[in-house]
Structure formats: structure tokens, C-alpha cells
Amino acid sequence: MTRWQRVLVLMLAMAMLAFAVGAGCSERTPRAAEPAVVFDAARAWADLETQVAMGFRVPGTPTHREVRDWLADQLRATGATVMLQPFSHELGGSTVQMWNIIAEIPGHGPAPRERVLLAAHWDTRPTADKDPDPAKRDQPIPGANDGASGVAVLLEIARQLQAHPISRDVQVVLFDGEDYGPGLEDMLLGSAHYARNLPEQKPDWGILLDMIGDTDLAIPREPYSEQHAKAVNDRVFAAARRLGYLRTAGMPGFVDAPGAYMITDDHVPLNEVGIPTVDLIDFDYPYWHTLADTPAKCSRESLRIVGMVVLSAIQAE
């Protein structure tokens, strides 16, 4: 080997080393857009199962009160300040007592801080009026997806916000009486009561979760939300894109396109009093308001996707 050959070999070796180091670095370096979001989907799943196992969360029943206390305890255990907002509703000559459950989780940014509302309904429908078997339509639904899924994600988000505070104040509100019925005039009761009795510090914007546990998850831009709170939807779908949770063939996730159904849900009374709020809902759920709305139709992975996207959306600038 001549001196020039040795120099050539040395240069070649250095070039190969530089290439290898460079390639290694680019593999190890996290993508700049990757946010520090943690969500324990196993814990959220356990909370979904517990709610269903405790029984039907039908206003006016002893189970309803038991679950109310259990939910308040779960939120208190995160360190949040929790209050019950009681109200009553008259139907068919009888008065039914209901409670919104409100948890305050202060942010750590400089005051005045932006204030975000995260909501879901904790009650379940007294009647399975969409059940394929007419003989069963007067029975209460288990409400694994319709009720428990959104609540489960919010309980875990409350825990994560205690461990990893964000700059914004967060108010978690579990609405009662969303699904009471039978007709729409006897539904959305908790959100309507909240909207008529706003806290001193009104939230600046909000995200509502309803029916987000479906195994075959597909959450579109709900049209009423898009009309009244487009900026919040943009924030949510940007988070879904950042995290890689836009739905692809066969995989559950968010669908960045208008939904087929305009949904009347707890976000309507909120938007009406000037809190721009989106409804994250997958209404393509064959077990809606049937006895088959059980944990078997839901998945831990769907709870993870929604929990991660909401956490990322509320901590982004």
C-alpha cells in the first residue's frame, strides 16, 4: 500500500464513519413535533369497566348516587378541587335530582390563564329505545360507549394533568341528565343547567367527548361544532395529525372531514352561551341506545387515541 493508498483508505473509512454516525443520529433524534404526552390507557379502560360494573347510572336510582360519589372521589384523588352542582328535573309529575360533577385543575402559566372546559356525560339512558328487540326497549342501557367512555378518558386526563401540569386552567365537567329523555326536551339537562349558571370564570373554549370508545373508531368534524367552534376543531385535528392518529385503512382514529350527522349534544347549550365547544363523537355505532352497548364493543386503544389527542390539543400553543 502506497502512502496515497493509505490516505485514500483513511479518507474512505472516515467518510463511512461519518455516514454511519449521521444515519444513527437521524434515527435516534425524536421528531421535533413529538409532544410529551402520556396517557395510561389501561387505567382509563379500568374506569370504563368499573362504571359499567357498578350498574345503570339512571338519575333517581341508588346506583346513580353511588357512581356520583365514586366519580367525585376519583377526581378528588387527582388533587383537583371538586364540587357537585345539583339541579332537579320534573317529568311525568315526579321530580328527579341530578348533579353535574365539576373539577378544577389549575394551570401553571402566568395569570390570567386561558381556561379550557373538558366535558362528558356520566348518566346513562333509562330506556334502550333503539334495541332490536321491542320487548327490551324499556330496560336501561349499560352505556359502556354512551357515557362511560368519555368519562373514563377525562378521569385519566385529570390524573395526567396533576402529574404533568399544563399552562392553561382546566375545568372537567361531568354532565348529568344528558340521556334522560325520552324526548330531546328532557335531555341535555346538565349542560343546559351549567350554561344557565356559569361559573364566575367562564371557560374560553371546550371539548366534549361522547361515544368515543367504539372499537371501530372514526371521529369526524361534527358539523355543528365546525359551524360554531371551527378553531377548536382545527386544534384537535392538528393534534391528531401530529400524533399520527388520523384514521387509515382498518385502523381506528380521527377523520379530518365533515361528519355525516349534525349532532344535538351537550356542546349545543355551551356554544349558545358563547363557549366555543366541539363534540368529538363517533355516531356510527350500531349499539347506540341498545342493551348491547357493552365494554365488548369498546377498546382500550380508542380511549388511548382520544386521550392522547385531547391532551396534546390542550397543551399546544
Minimum CB separation from Zn ion for residue 277, in Å? 18
Minimum CB separation from Zn ion for residue 146, in Å? 4
Minimum CB separation from Zn ion for residue 125, in Å? 5
Closest CB to Zn ion among residues 176, 179: 179
Q: Coil, strand or helix: which one is 16?
A: helix
Minimum CB separation from Zn ion for residue 159, in Å? 26
The one-letter amino acid code at 66 reads E
Q: Let me know if 104 is exposed, middle or buried by CB neighbors in 10 A (0-12, 13-18, 19+).
A: middle
Closest CB to Zn ion among residues 41, 67: 67
Closest CB to Zn ion among residues 124, 233: 124
The one-letter amino acid code at 135 reads A
Closest CB to Zn ion among residues 131, 146: 146
DSSP states of 52-90 as a string?
Answer: HHH----TTSHHHHHHHHHHHHHHHTTT-EEEEEEEEEE
Q: Is the peptide bond before 182 cis (omega within 30 degrees of 0)?
A: yes
- Could you count the other beta carbons within 10 Å of the beta carbon of residue 111? 7
Closest CB to Zn ion among residues 212, 243: 212
Backbone phi and psi for residue 219, each to the nearest 5 degrees, phi listed first: -105, 110
Closest CB to Zn ion among residues 71, 187: 187
Minimum CB separation from Zn ion for residue 179, in Å? 4
Residues that bind Zn ion in the complex, under the rule CB under 5 A: 146, 179
Minimum CB separation from Zn ion for residue 104, in Å? 27
CA–CA dist 48, 32 (Å, integer): 33
